Amino acid sequence: MCTFRSMYFNGRFVVNLAQFAEQLGVESNQLIALTQCSISELQAEECRLDAEIYNRFIEEAVRLSEDELFGLHAGENMNLAAAGLIAQIAHSSSTVKQALDYCCEFANLGCNALPTRLEEDQDYFKLVLEPNSLWQQQSAESVLHTVYGYLAFSVREFQSLTNSKKYPIEVWMKSQPPNNVEELQRVLGCSVQFNKAEFAILFRKEDINQEVRTSDYALLKVLVDHAYQKLANLHKGKGFYETVRRSVVNLVRPEFPTIEEIAAHLNMSVRTFQRKLKNEGYSYKDIVDELRREFAFGYLKKPELTISEIAYLLSYSDASAFIRTFKRWTGKTPVQWRMEN
């Protein structure tokens, strides 16, 4: 279903991935069917897919294409126009730095599970990618291929902004090296370091401070105002809800924090906390149940965890309580779901 979820991914982006997969011999309709949306629905500006559907789409695209660098090659071949409004803003910016700053600020318009930030070091600028930790638990493969695609697309966008064949200084990966490291370095045009503490692209300062030849201040102002409005509409009524979700995830240990602990963490009384959530149409139980479900799917993809261990990690009194709840969510037992996924 195309809707707003706690983690969401742009429908148009998924269509582009399906079209690229077709170039590799994959039936694009087979992939599109996994989204439970038609192509016209996916191409609608407001279409957002939740993480479970997006992850299944990526995992199947990788399996069917038999390409261990599927995300990288998709990013290398994707039309720059696929970035839509964000690309327009970047090309209307005065400098590459301003373009990257806006790209980081408006990244949520396409996907809220992969925020980015631009940091200045003494010798370089660093564009850091920060995949959502819950998404990482659900599908490390989906995260990795999305990062691959982001890196490849960013290098191409960087060259387009600088109107040159310049490449980054280096790329850092928070993962093990693939079998074909040489291909990864060919596409990114630089050395790639693995098992780092973060995903990041390092750029020369003189390149980031370079002017953008297509800059247009008047157009930029219009586009940025439009982007801010889209962000406001996207998160309308969910500001405090998102704050609470992030706080819960940060305080899981592994049992979920109580409502009293979360309220204290946010420096407010329980009554005020409940009222603010109610104003956005939620209760604390809604958020914990939602997170339990999302964590459950991630844990079930880890074969080393038993059902009893997962029940403990999700703060259930025993395995049977978890099994009953999971069957209510999906119509299947955790074992059945695990075997099918």
Residue 308 sits in a domain of what CATH number? 1.10.10.60
pLDDT at residue 4 in the model: 37
| Residue 305: band (very low, low, confident or very high) from pLDDT cuts 50, 70, 90 | confident
pLDDT at residue 234 in the model: 66
Which of 126, 118, 208 lies closest to 171 in space, CA to CA? 126
Helix axes 70-77, 181-188, angle to 10 degrees: 20
Same domain, 221 and 76: yes
Residue, of 205 and 137, whose pLDDT is higher = 205
Q: Which of 197, 212, 232 is the last residue of a domain?
A: 232
Domain that holds residue 276: 239-340
Handedness of CA 328, 329, 334, 338 (dihedral sign): positive
Dist CA 52 CA 56 (whole Å): 6
Same domain, 260 and 329: yes
- Indicate the SS3 state at residue 321: helix
Is 2's pLDDT higher than 60? no
Is 248's pLDDT higher than 80? yes
Q: What is the pLDDT of residues 147-170, one digit of tens each?
A: 999 999 999 999 989 888 899 999
Q: Which of 232, 259, 285 is the last residue of a domain?
A: 232
Helix axes 270-279, 284-300, angle to 10 degrees: 80
pLDDT at residue 3 in the model: 37
Q: Tell me the mean pLDDT in the region 311-328.
A: 88
Dist CA 43 CA 78 (whole Å): 15
Percent of the chain with pLDDT over 90: 45
- Indicate the SS3 state at residue 316: coil
Same domain, 133 and 209: yes
Amino acid at position 3, single letter: T
Helix (H) or strand (E) holding 183: helix 181-188
Looking at the domain assignment, is residue 282 inside a domain?
A: yes
Q: Which of 187, 207, 232 is the last residue of a domain?
A: 232
Is 110's pLDDT higher than 80? no
pLDDT at residue 230 in the model: 77
Same domain, 287 and 164: no
**Cβ–Cβ under 8 Å, residues 152 and 145:** no
Q: Which residues contact 222 (CB under 8 A, 6 or more apart)?
A: none
Residue, of 208 and 236, whose pLDDT is higher = 208
- Indicate the number of domains in the chain: 2
Looking at the domain assignment, is residue 106 inside a domain?
A: yes
Amino acid at position 122, single letter: Q
Looking at the domain assignment, is residue 224 inside a domain?
A: yes
Is 40's pLDDT higher than 70? yes
Looking at the domain assignment, is residue 51 inside a domain?
A: no
Judged by average pLDDT, the poorest of 118-127, 175-184, 276-285, 319-328 is 276-285
Same domain, 273 and 169: no
Q: What is the pLDDT of residues 47-96, one digit of tens each?
A: 888 888 999 999 999 999 999 999 999 999 887 666 677 888 998 999 99
Same domain, 77 and 173: yes
Same domain, 90 and 139: yes
Looking at the domain assignment, is residue 80 inside a domain?
A: yes
Judged by average pLDDT, the poorest of 30-34, 231-235, 317-321 is 231-235
Q: What is the mean pLDDT of the chain?
A: 87
Same domain, 210 and 175: yes
Same domain, 209 and 289: no
Q: Which residues pair with 202 in a beta bridge?
A: 126, 170
Dist CA 17 CA 130 (whole Å): 21
The reported pTM is 0.72
